[in-house]
Structure 1
């Protein structure tokens, strides 16, 4: 990833509430995903996948912790967890100057 002064990466997932979950990890980052309960059982039989335990934080927690004064752009592509991520931002969604939502 290129280095940008205004971009910081964090090893966590965003969701509707804080907690922990498992992330399925494969050879490429585009194949990584949160593991749903039924997938967790299937992955036990697939040696090409591994799972790591990760923290889940809400967008609201991140905004408060990092003291983000303004959100000018927010892109969410959470492979089926988009709604949970949006809910996690709660009242901070009002910070957005423009809002478009596209769920796939």
Structure 2
């Protein structure tokens, strides 16, 4: 039994450097992609808010009634999530799940 535990920890010690490096690279790419995406999304949101301030009150009321603010929030949030996932998959730390066909 002690030999089995010793072999397990020896194997784990051999895999640990590559595992840690992949996790750190994945986190780094994900963080950078998220920050750049967040900066871009904040800029787009500020542009929409500044351009909407010059609209007549009737048009603002129609846009509010149509809940375009909620729609833009959903679109920008999904774009931020897509950027984060794209950053993680490009680093190789997250793989796509799919059905594999039989050989």
TM-score normalised by structure 1 residue count: 0.25
Q: Which has the larger radius of gyration?
A: 2
* Greater relative contact order (Cα < 8 A, sep 6+): 2
Which structure shows the higher helix fraction?
2
Which structure shows the higher strand fraction?
1
